[in-house]
Amino acid sequence: MAWSKLKQQLESFLSPTLEGRVEYLSASYRYLPDKTGLCYIAVDKKKVLNISDSLVRWYQTELEIKNDSTIPIPINNEEIEAVRKDTKGNVPEDRLQVIARSRKISEYAKELLSAQSSLSKSNFVVIANKFLSISIEESLESNDILLNILALVDRRVGKKRILNMSEKMQLKHPIVQYFFELRLQTFDNK
């Protein structure tokens, strides 16, 4: 599908509150056929998602993610009980939560780095076409960063669903959280 047609279809799915604020931009290399073009997502005329350069933090290592104190990792009782069971009750109560958080952030770090690496290798046009052909639920549940972003700015995702996703969004990549916050702001402005 030609970029202009794809862009038109993507923009037709934008939430009415984000029309004119979110734009899809493309830079292609006409005289370099072996070089793929770059695609950007801009918010209020600022390029916020460019795979190689973004305003959002990109993590380099798993350790960097584990040491980032700004990442909220919610721990529930089931996870603490799983640690208690694994350690056969030989660990003091105050350490159970630390161990549960450590396990969860390790898992989160692996998922986040995997999502980042797939984003850097992905082709925006391929992901956008996939987004147009699958359900909105699949896009929201996906581990693919671009699918999550496209779904969050979609008009088919309403206020109630967005508000119910706040806990799940804490474990998403910072760029996905950015678009989640952007969408939340549109509800505040009404």
Return the pLDDT at 75. 85
Q: How far apart are CA 78 and CA 118, in angstroms?
A: 31
pLDDT tens sequence across 29-52:
555 454 555 678 889 988 888 765
Return the pLDDT at 55. 41
Q: Are strands 38-43 and 22-27 parallel, antiparallel or unpaired?
A: antiparallel
Q: Where are the beta strands (DSSP E) in 1-58?
A: 22-27, 38-43, 46-50
Q: Please give the C-alpha separations between residue 130 and each of 9, 71, 154, in angstroms, as whole numbers.
A: 12, 30, 14
Q: Which residues of 140-163 are buried (b: 16+ CB within 10 A; e: fewer)?
A: bebebbbbbbbbbbbeebeeeebe
State what percent of residues in the chain have pLDDT above 70: 84
Q: How far apart are CA 35 and CA 187, in angstroms?
A: 40
Q: What's the half-sphere exposure (Cβ side, CA atoms, 13 Å) at 139? A: 22
Tell me the whole-structure pTM to 2 decimals.
0.67
pLDDT tens sequence across 72-114:
788 888 988 888 888 887 888 888 888 888 888 888 888 877 7
Q: Using 50, 70 and 90 to split pLDDT, how confident is the model at 13?
A: very high
